Amino acid sequence: MTRFTLAAVAALLLAAAPVVAGTTLTQVPVKTPGQTTAPVAGPTPGSDAWLRQRGESYRAAPEAQQDPAEVAETIRLNAEIAARNNAAERREVEGTAAWQAEDTRWRAEVARLETQRAQWEADTAAAEAARLRYERDRAAWAAEMAACERSGRVCLTTAPSTETKTPGYSPPR
């Protein structure tokens, strides 16, 4: 465990060395009581002098100093970038529209299937109720016939009808 920890620390130090070497430590002057610090002279951030000091310039050269070939190339590149941006925006709009159309189709299909499932469940419940009603009627008839036969009388009662009021249902045979 100790060897692994030491190896990990060494690897981290080796990996961090270039980063540490690239930074410089800034020395904060120690201020003694009664001593005032003079403001550092230099350009204010954001001024033209400040930007020039950093090698940045945001002003175009005068028209006479501009190279016509460079201006033409800049215009061509800007037009190419604008065309690519327009094409990307068009593809994004088309993609969004296609996704919305597919999402609408999918939601309609889900709604249709949910309706179909609800109808199937209602039909199944109705068929089960009809089956239970038939079995109840059949059991009552069988009990009545058994009672009639035990009494020794002639029984003329017919079996309950297999016709039900539920369409599409036929009792098991």
Domain assignment of residue 118, yes or no: yes
Residue 61 above 60 pLDDT?
yes
Higher pLDDT, residue 31 or 87:
87
Higher pLDDT, residue 53 or 24:
53
Domain assignment of residue 18, yes or no: no
Which amino acid, one-letter code, is at 152?
Answer: G
Higher pLDDT, residue 80 or 168:
80
Higher pLDDT, residue 63 or 68:
68
Please report the pLDDT score of residue 112 as a whole number. 97
141 is in which domain, residue-wise?
A: 69-150
Quick check: helix, strand or coil at residue 56?
coil
CA distance 165 to 169: 8
Domain assignment of residue 130, yes or no: yes
For the chain, the domain total comes to: 1
Please report the pLDDT score of residue 35 as a whole number. 62
pTM, two decimals, is 0.41
Please report the pLDDT score of residue 43 as a whole number. 82
Contact indicator for 130, 164 with CB cutoff of 8 Å? yes
Domain assignment of residue 62, yes or no: no
Region class of 172: left (phi > 0), else alpha (psi between -120 and 50), else beta: beta
Please report the pLDDT score of residue 139 as a whole number. 94
Domain assignment of residue 20, yes or no: no
Domain assignment of residue 159, yes or no: no
Handedness of CA 39, 45, 50, 53 (dihedral sign): positive
Per-residue confidence at 42, pLDDT binned at 50, 70, 90? confident
Domain assignment of residue 107, yes or no: yes
For the segment 126-160, what is each residue's pLDDT rounded down to a tens digit?
999 999 999 999 999 999 889 888 888 888 766 66
Higher pLDDT, residue 89 or 28:
89
Average pLDDT over the chain reads 81
Please report the pLDDT score of residue 98 as a whole number. 97
Domain assignment of residue 169, yes or no: no
